[in-house]
């Protein structure tokens, strides 16, 4: 839960840049449950006592005196369907949300996003918190597709840890910003399949890329 609290503090600090609103979760140590942010509590006011623990299997609340985020269903669905998933970050960040409103996928206009996905598609609109929205997210996510946009809503990013999910969310939001600005000038060039494959090979050869790459 400490990792989740630390990620929440970072997202709060970034909110001036990206806009805020959303929720985050992390699988608990024993893997059969997960911690999620509570509903209706400002992110800067969340401490360990406000966090909510839910069962991965049933979604039943195990710990916490507050109600879970209203969007808990897709968190539960992803953990239940995907063993590798250890953390989820959901943001109503500015540029991902802008692209979602015009049904435009985040394209590989920069190689940095390759560890998240080649392209981040837009899932059809569904009411927040609904089983329909959860189903769409659960089916779209895979180890090769670690993020999706939700139409007229925002983005969801999944990682093996909540820190990784947070990093994926930032990479999608940043790439959406580059794509948005480039599109104001002309249609941006998109990396080809061969170029993306070469980036994947370079990353696996040199380990995790740093900011300087």
> What residues are annotated to the active site?
71
**3 state SS for 46-91:** CCHHHCEEEECCCCCEEECCCCECCCHHHHHHHHHHCCCCCEEEEE
* Rounded CA separation 32/8 (Å): 22
What is the distance in angstroms between the CA of the first residue and the CA of the last residue of the chain? 31
* Rounded CA separation 22/38 (Å): 11
Cβ partners under 8 Å of residue 197, min gap 6: none
Return the residue matching tokens 């400490």.
2
Query: What residues pair up with 68 in beta bridges, in sequence order?
Result: 38
Helix axes 162-185, 94-101, angle to 10 degrees: 60
């Amino acid at each position: 839960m400490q990792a989740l609290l630390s990620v929440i503090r970072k997202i709060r600090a970034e909110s001036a840049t990206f806009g805020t609103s959303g929720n985050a979760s992390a699988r608990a140590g024993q893997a059969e449950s997960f911690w999620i942010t509570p509903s209706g509590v400002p992110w800067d006011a969340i401490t360990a006592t406000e966090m909510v623990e839910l069962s991965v299997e049933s979604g039943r609340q195990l710990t916490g005196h507050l109600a879970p985020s209203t969007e808990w269903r897709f968190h539960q669905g992803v953990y239940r369907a995907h063993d590798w998933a250890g953390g989820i970050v959901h943001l109503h960040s500015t540029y991902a949300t802008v692209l979602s409103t015009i049904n435009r996928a985040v394209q590989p206009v920069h190689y940095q996003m390759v560890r998240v996905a080649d392209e981040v598609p837009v899932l059809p609109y569904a009411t927040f918190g609904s089983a329909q929205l959860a189903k769409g997210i659960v089916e779209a996510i895979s180890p090769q597709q670690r993020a999706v946009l939700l139409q007229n809503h925002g983005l969801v990013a999944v990682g093996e840890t909540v820190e990784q999910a947070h990093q994926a969310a930032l990479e999608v939001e940043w790439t959406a910003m580059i794509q948005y600005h480039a599109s104001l000038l002309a249609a941006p060039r998109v990396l080809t399949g061969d170029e993306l494959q070469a980036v994947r090979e370079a990353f696996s050869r040199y380990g995790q890329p740093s900011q300087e790459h």
